[in-house]
Structure 1
Amino acid sequence: MSVSPHLTRRGFVLGTIGLSTAAILSGCATKGTETKGDATNGGGTPAAAAITLQSSLSDPLPKKALESIVAAYPGDVTLNTVAIEQFRAQLSTYLTSQNPPDVLTWYAGSVARDYAKNGYLLDISDLWVEKGPAASYSTALKELSTSDDGKQVFMPTNYYWWGVFYLRSSFKKWGVSEPKTWEEFIALCDTLKSKGVNPLSNGVGTTPWMASGWFDILNLRVNGAAFHRELLTGKHSFDSPEVRKVMDYYTQIVPYFDPNMTAYAWQDAVTPLVQGKNAMYLVGAFISQNITEGDPDDLDFFSVPVIDQSIPVAEEAPTDGYFASAKTKNVESTKAFLGYLASAEAQQKFIEAAGSSNLPTSPDVDVSKFSPLVQKGLKTLADADQITQFFNRDSSDALQTTADAALTKFLAKPQEVDSILKEWQAAAQRVFNS
Structure 2
Amino acid sequence: MGAAAVLGGCATGGGGDSGGDGTLVLQSSLSDEAPRQALTEVVDDYDEHDVTLNTIAIETFRAQLPSYLSSGNPPDVLTWYAGAVARDYAQRGFLLDLSDLWSGDGACANFSDALRELSTDDAGQQIFVPTNYYWWGVFYRRSAFDEWGVQPAETWDDFLALCAEIQGQGADPLAMGTGGTPWVASGWFDYLNLRINGVDFHRELLAGEHSFDGPEVREVMERYRELLPYFDPNGRSQSWQDAVTPLVNKSAGMYLIGAFITQLVPEDELDDIDFFRVPVIDSAVPLAEEAPTDGYFASANSTDPEGAMSLLAHLASPEAQQKFIELSASSNLPTSPDVDTSSFSPLVQKGIELLNESAAITQFFNRDSSDELQTTADDALTRFLDRPDDVDTILADWQSAAARVFSS
Query: TM (normalized to structure 1)?
Result: 0.79
Give the CA deviation at 1:293.
1.6
The DSSP-based 3-state class of the residue aligned with 2:130 is strand
Which residue is 1:41 aligned to? none
Cα distance in 2 for partners of 1:275, 1:68 equals 38
Counterpart position of 2:3: 24
Aligned residue pairs total 399
Relative to structure 1, the CA distance from residue 77 to residue 298 in structure 2 (aligned partners, 3 Å threshold; closer, same or farther) is farther
Distance 2:9 2:31 in 1: 11
Whether the aligned pair in 1 keeps the contact of 2:39 and 2:324 (CA below 8 Å) is yes
- 2:400 maps to a residue whose letter is A
Partner of residue 69, structure 1: 42
Could you tell me the percent identity over the aligned residues? Answer: 58
Aligned-pair distance for 1:213?
0.9
Instruction: Give the whole-Å Cα distance in 2 for the aligned partners of 1:142 and 1:221.
Output: 22
1:171 to 2:122 alignment = no
Distance in 2 separating the partners of 1:403 and 1:226: 19
2:6 & 2:237 partners in 1: Cα distance? Answer: 17
Is the contact made by 2:36 and 2:55 (CA closer than 8 Å) also made in structure 1?
Answer: no
| CA displacement 1:207-232 (0-9 Å, x = unmatched) | 33221110111112222233323322
Output the CA distance in 1 between the equivalents of 2:330 and 2:290.
17
Q: Go from structure 1 to structure 2 and tell me whether the alpha carbon gap of 1:132 and 1:173 turns closer, same or farther (over 3 Å shift).
A: same
Q: 1: distance between equivalents of 2:298 and 2:159?
A: 43
Counterparts of 1:33-432 in structure 2 under 5 Å? Answer: 49=23, 51-56=25-30, 58=32, 61-74=34-47, 75-80=50-55, 82-83=57-58, 87-92=61-66, 94-96=68-70, 102-291=76-265, 293-326=267-300, 328=302, 331=305, 333-432=307-406
Q: Report deviation, 1:137.
A: 3.5
**Counterpart residue identity of residue 308, structure 1:** D
What is the DSSP-based 3-state SS (H/G/I as helix, E as strand, rest coil) of the residue aligned with 1:224? helix
Q: Following TM superposition, by how much is the alpha carbon of 1:90 offset from its aligned partner in structure 2, in angstroms?
A: 4.9
Per the alignment, do residues 188 and 137 of structure 1 end up closer, same or farther by CA in structure 2, a change over 3 Å counting?
Answer: closer
Deviation at 1:116, TM superposition (A): 2.0
Counterpart CA distance in 1 for 2:332 and 2:131 is 10
Q: Which amino acid aligns with 2:130?
A: P
Q: Deviations over 1:97-121 (max 9, x none)?
A: 6776543322212210101222333
Partners of 2:89 and 2:144 in 1: CA distance: 44
**Contact 2:196/2:285 (<8 A) preserved:** yes
CA shift in 2, pair 1:79/1:301, >3 Å: farther
Helix, strand or coil at the partner of 1:431: helix
Of the structure 1 ranges 366-375 and 410-419, higher mean CA displacement relative to structure 2 is found in 366-375
Query: Residue 107 of structure 2 contacts residue 317 of structure 2 at CA under 8 Å; is this kept in 1?
Result: yes
Other-structure match for 1:12: none
CA distance in 2, matches of 1:31, 1:68: 18
1:145-190 superposed Cα distances (whole Å, 9 cap, x missing partner)? 2333444321111233211011223333444332333233223333
Cα 1:104/1:407, change in 2 over 3 Å? farther
Shift of residue 50 of structure 1?
A: 5.3
Structure 2: segments with no counterpart, 5+ residues: 14-20
> Are 1:312 and 1:385, in contact at CA under 8 Å, matched by a contact in 2?
yes
In structure 2, what residue type is equivalent to 1:287?
I
SS in 2 for 1:133: coil
Alpha carbons of structure 1 residues 331 and 380: separation in structure 2 relative to 1, 3 Å: closer
Q: Which runs of 5+ in 1 are unaligned?
A: 1-21, 35-46
Could you say if the C-alpha distance between residues 297 and 81 of structure 1 is closer, same or farther in structure 2, counting changes exceeding 3 Å?
farther
CA 1:63/1:380 → structure 2, altered by over 3 Å: closer, same or farther? Answer: same
How far off is 1:299 after superposition? 1.6
Q: Residues 132 and 180 (structure 1 numbering): CA distance in 2 closer, same or farther, change over 3 Å?
A: closer
Residues 111, 397 of structure 1: 8 Å contact kept = no
- 3-state SS of 1:283 partner: strand
Structure 2 residue aligned with 1:44 = none
Question: CA RMSD for the aligned pairs?
Answer: 3.3
Report the more deviating stretch, 263-272 or 153-162: 263-272
Q: Which amino acid counterpart does residue 266 of structure 1 have in structure 2?
A: W
Specify the SS of the correspondent of 1:30: coil
Q: Secondary structure at the match of 1:213?
A: helix
Q: What is the identity, as a one-letter code, of the residue corresponding to 1:65?
A: A
CA–CA separation in structure 2 for the residues paired with 1:386 and 1:27: 27
Tell me the SS of whatever aligns to 2:127.
coil
SS in 2 for 1:223: helix
1:161/1:285 contact within 8 Å kept: yes
Deviation larger for 410-419 or 138-147: 138-147
What is the distance in 1 between the residues matched to 2:36 and 2:229?
Answer: 36
CA distance in 2, matches of 1:432, 1:262: 29
Change (3 A) 1:28 1:103: same
TM-score, with structure 2 as normaliser? 0.83
Q: Indicate if the aligned counterparts of 2:2 and 2:258 stay in contact, CA closer than 8 A.
A: no
